[in-house]
Chains A and B, each alone.
Chain A
Amino acid sequence: MSAPSRPSRILRGLAGLVLAVGLTLGLAVVPPDAVQGEVQRIMYLHVPSILTAYLAFTVTFVTSLLYLWKRDLRFDAVAVSSAEIGVVLTGITLVTGSIWGKSTWGVWWTWDARLTLTAILFTIYVGYLMMRAFAEDPPAAARYGAVLAILGFLDIPLNHMAVQWWRTLHQPSSMLRPGGPSVDPVLLLPLLVNLLGLILLYSHLLLERMRLERLRTEAMALRLTRGRRG
């Protein structure tokens, strides 16, 4: 097995360092929220997770479009790799949100528009990954996968606007909103540091997951060459 590349190792080291600083700030340095108290510290993980998941699915969306345009499987490799990491991050968002909801609202789950659309986003991309995993014809899987990834991405703007368009239990956006974040700068700092840490971690994982695609493609090419010879 080839080792992780130097940029990938640097990204992993930086991610660890930045996340350590962010978690220390969020859990031990900044004061508790005036309204929610200590439990608001879950937001230092919950919000960066979903924002990084949005980034991952945006990469999948763009590279899926590029694949359909150029028919270059390298774009597809980026799309599927990024989607897999996006699913992990969305799963973390759902779980941490549910735990926060239990402590604040008194329930683990409610069919609120934001929560439901996040669960749908998770389900769409889990379906995308399952379709990719079980497909027997890689070019066809890449083509159908690209279409599904592009359609699935439409859930993100809908999810983001859900708290403004409908009456929801989930609070309005506090980060990606017109006029800038509404969070107090002291509480915003760990959130931004953890966001940077998760983006660095995502970049490292993306490089590693793409390396896996490369190894699999090389193995498949060798099998095909030998099959033709045999």
Chain B
Amino acid sequence: MGSWGFIGLAYGAAAVALVGYFVFLRGRLREAGEELRALTREGGRTKR
């Protein structure tokens, strides 16, 4: 592998890690938000 092959591999791996983490974090945020909304809705029904 030439120099630019190593450079591409390094920057590619870093991009995959950062984008992967970003997507993973967004997924967890969406799940936590949905769970909170569901709990709030159920709480509202219980009060009535």
Chain A: residues with CB nearer than 8 A to chain B?
1-2, 23, 27, 37-39, 41-42, 45-46, 49, 85, 88, 91-92, 95-96, 99-100, 102-103, 201, 205, 208-209, 211-212, 215-216, 218-219, 222-223, 225-226, 229
Further 11 A-B residue pairs, CB within 8 A, beyond A99-B13, A103-B3, A208-B25? A1-B30, A39-B6, A41-B7, A45-B11, A88-B18, A88-B21, A95-B17, A100-B10, A219-B35, A219-B36, A222-B39
Interface centre among A39, A42, A215, A229 (most CB of B within 10 A): A215
Complex: how many Å from CA A152 to CA B31?
31
Secondary structure call for the B interface: helix
B15 to chain A, nearest CB (A): 10
Residues B39 and A219 in contact, CB atoms below 8 Å apart: yes
Residues of A within 8 A of B7 (CB): 27, 38-39, 41-42
CB-contacts of B14-29 with A (<8 A): 14, 17-18, 21-22, 25-26, 28-29
9 A-B pairs closest in CB distance:
A1-B33, A38-B3, A215-B32, A103-B6, A222-B39, A96-B10, A99-B10, A39-B3, A42-B10
Known: A37-B3, A212-B32. A226 touches B17 (CB 8 A): no
A-B contact count (CB 8 A): 88
Secondary structure call for the A interface: helix
A42 to chain B, nearest CB (A): 5
**Residue in A100, A216, A223 whose beta carbon sits within 8 Å of that of B6 in the complex:** A100
Complex: how many Å from CA A37 to CA B26?
39
Complex: how many Å from CA A197 to CA B14?
14
Residues of A within 8 A of B18 (CB): 88, 92, 201
Residues of B within 8 A of A223 (CB): 39
B25 to chain A, nearest CB (A): 6
Residues of A within 8 A of B40 (CB): 222
